[in-house]
Structures are given as C-alpha cells and as structure tokens.
C-alpha cells in the first residue's frame, strides 16, 4: 500500500459495540510497523479521545489518544470560531461536554446561543423533557447544532438511533434545520487532513457508510474504500449516484487482498466495471488500484 496517510472510521469498521472486527489488530500493527500516519475519525460524539483510546486498549489495541478525532471536537472548534466564549445547552455525553468546555463555552439553559445535540443512549439525557426544552430554546432563538447526520449506529445486537434521529424531533417541532458538523462536513474532513499533516494525494479514507465516509472522502478529493462490515450493504449501492474507489468486505479482506493472492490488473479492471451496477458477488467489487492504496 503506497498511501502514507489513513483516515479510518470506527463503528462498523474497527468494531461493533465492544466487539473488535476481524483483521483490525493486524491492520493497526501494520500501520505502526510501516510508520503510516493514521487517524481514527468518528462521528460518535459521546467519548473523548482518551476514552476511545482506552476502549481500544480493552479490545487489545494500543493507540495514543492523539490518533482520534471526533464530531464533538469538530463541533466545538467550529462553534468557538463562530461565537468565541459562547453559550450552549447540550444534550450529549462527556465527549461533547468536554470538547465545548475546552474551547471556552459555558453550558447553560439560560438564553443560550446554541442548542447542541450529540449522541447518547442514556434516558436521563435524552427524554421527553429534554426534547421539549430543546424545542423551546430553539423557538426562543437558540441556533440548532447536531454533531453528526448519522441516523443509526452499529451496535452488537443490531442498530441504535444516532444523532440525526435524536435531532429530528426538534427540527420537526421548530421548523429549523440543524447544522451538522461531523462527516461528511468539509470542515471535519479538512481538520482531519490538517491533523494528519498529509496531502490529499497520499491519503485514503476507510469507512462503512456511503452517506458520510465515502461522500466525505470524495468531496475532499481523497481516495475512498467502502467496507461492507457496517451500515451500507451491497444492495444499498444502487441508491447512490456516486461510487467509492474500492469496495471490500471489511478490514480483514483489505489485508488479504493487499498482501496475499491478489487478482491480476486485467481481472480487477473487468470486475470493477461490474461493480458500477451495485450487484454481484463481494469478490466482484474489488477495484483495479487496490494494491496501490
């Protein structure tokens, strides 16, 4: 793999809930061994980089917290530029709260500049009363911000509502459309590239979602790899007017294709043409330059 910089989604690519996916441990070891620059770029806003680092450590992978960038950090950085020392009322967890406090925001329900909604599965944080408060604050003039557009997340037993679903009732009740800061926002992609310190031509993004990871990468002008281990399914591809540079089953298959018995360039070009229709076997969806990623 000739690329030097890797942007890697987490949910659906690295793990499902607390279950590490096949091939991930070997992939991270390879990134370290080959001295690649890499960044885990997640739309999840609930955890701080330190907590994400600890989670991977519990799953057997040691990665410093500097290798993580979240939608909460992207949101906080944007709001700090828009409204220095601003105020916000927040529905979300420690990752979002700390990110906002670290950039000088005050969290309050007294005439806040913003209502910021992130991800949470805790009923004490997201419930009828908190949604009602968010609606009233927005109707009184607070601007509505969502950390990411995802409507569902991968969990061990299926799917769970994500930020986009949590924001939707507030949008519906106020007539106000939220502004979202996570992938595929160009602001988040630009911040990720700056944090990596790499050039677009040397960077690849690996993700499981066409509507966030892949479109974000395409619009940022970087190489894209879709893995089918998360949200986007093979049959979903025909819904999109764009396509990823490469499509594989998961990180394990990425490692197998890149370093084992890869098809010839001619074979790969033939099967890549077949992938444009969004149908066929998984093996028919490997594109011709995968070995040069």
Which residues are the active-site residues? 9, 11
Closest CA to 186 of 226, 215, 165: 215
- Residue linked to tokens 């030097």: 4
Stated length of the chain:
293
Strand stretches in 12-118, DSSP E: 15-16, 19-20, 37-42, 68-70, 87-91, 106-107, 114-117
Q: What whole-number distance in Å separates Cα of residue 26 and Cα of residue 22?
A: 9
Q: Which two tokens stand for residue 275?
A: 């992938």
- Is the Cβ–Cβ distance between 95 and 70 less than 8 Å? yes
Closest CA to 80 of 114, 97, 96, 104: 104
CA dihedral 252, 255, 257, 260 (to 10 degrees): -120
Please list, residue by residue across 54-74, b when 16 or more beta carbons sit within 10 angstroms of its beta carbon and e when fewer do. Answer: ebbeeeebebeeebbbbbbbb
- Is the Cβ–Cβ distance between 234 and 228 less than 8 Å? yes
Q: Which two tokens stand for residue 217?
A: 């990468």
């Amino acid at each position: 793999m000739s690329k030097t910089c890797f942007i890697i989604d987490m949910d659906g690519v690295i793990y499902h809930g607390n279950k590490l996916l096949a091939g991930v441990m070997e992939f991270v070891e390879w990134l370290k061994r080959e001295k690649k620059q890499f960044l885990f770029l997640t739309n999840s806003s609930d955890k701080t980089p330190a907590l994400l680092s600890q989670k991977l450590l519990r799953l057997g992978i040691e990665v410093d917290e500097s290798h993580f960038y979240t939608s909460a950090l992207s949101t906080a950085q944007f709001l700090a530029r828009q409204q220095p020392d601003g105020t916000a009322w927040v529905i979300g967890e420690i990752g979002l709260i700390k990110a906002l406090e670290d950039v000088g925001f005050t969290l309050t329900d007294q005439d806040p500049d913003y209502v910021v909604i992130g991800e949470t599965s805790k009923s004490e944080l997201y419930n009828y009363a908190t949604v009602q408060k968010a609606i009233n604050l927005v109707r009184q003039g607070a601007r509505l911000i969502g950390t990411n557009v995802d409507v569902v997340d991968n969990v061990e037993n299926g799917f769970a509502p994500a930020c986009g679903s949590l924001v939707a009732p507030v949008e519906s009740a106020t007539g106000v459309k939220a502004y979202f800061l996570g992938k595929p926002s160009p602001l988040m992609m630009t911040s990720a590239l700056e944090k990596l310190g790499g050039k677009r031509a040397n960077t690849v993004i690996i993700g499981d979602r066409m509507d966030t990871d892949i479109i974000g990468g395409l619009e940022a002008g970087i190489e894209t790899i879709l893995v089918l281990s998360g949200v986007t399914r093979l049959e979903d591809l025909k819904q999109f007017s764009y396509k990823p540079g490469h499509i594989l089953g998961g990180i394990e298959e990425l490692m197998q294709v890149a370093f084992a018995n890869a098809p010839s360039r001619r074979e790969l070009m033939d099967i890549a043409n077949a992938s444009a229709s969004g149908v066929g076997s998984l093996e028919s969806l490997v594109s011709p330059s995968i070995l040069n990623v």
